[in-house]
Amino acid sequence: MKSKIKHIEHRVYIAIVGVVFAALTVIFLFFPRPKFSGLERRSTDKFPQWEELSENPQQFTADVSHWFSDTEPFSENFLLGSMRLRDALKLTSYIYI
């Protein structure tokens, strides 16, 4: 009986992780990418030119990786949330009595 329950728990866990990965894939592939970063006050990188692929494949791959991370959908929201959480959890050196 315990083995059957454990088997079901594993299947549920795998299904949940699969749904999360599928959702992240859809977000990163199909959601619009920002052209300007309001938080950093700069334009985001543009996708590298395909001509660079034949000239220097390693640099092209590095540029694509940088473009992908720079234009991540909702990155502004994640950064802003992270900063707010950090400020909310900030510990002070003062001791209040």
CA dist 68 and 28 (Å) reads: 9
Helix (H, G, I), strand (E, B) or coil at 95: coil
Residue 85 token pair: 């959480």
CB 76 within 8 A of CB 37: yes
Residue at token pair 């940088």 = 66
Query: What residue segments make up the domains of the chain, in order of their start?
Result: 1-30, 35-97
- pTM score over 0.85: no
Helix (H, G, I), strand (E, B) or coil at 82: helix
**CB half-sphere exposure, 17, CA atoms < 13 A:** 6
Report how far Cα 44 is from the mean position of its chain's Cα atoms: 15
Q: pLDDT value at position 21? A: 96
Q: What is the mean pLDDT of each run of 10 residues along the chain (97 residues)?
A: 81 96 90 80 82 86 85 82 82 56
CA dist 27 and 31 (Å) reads: 5
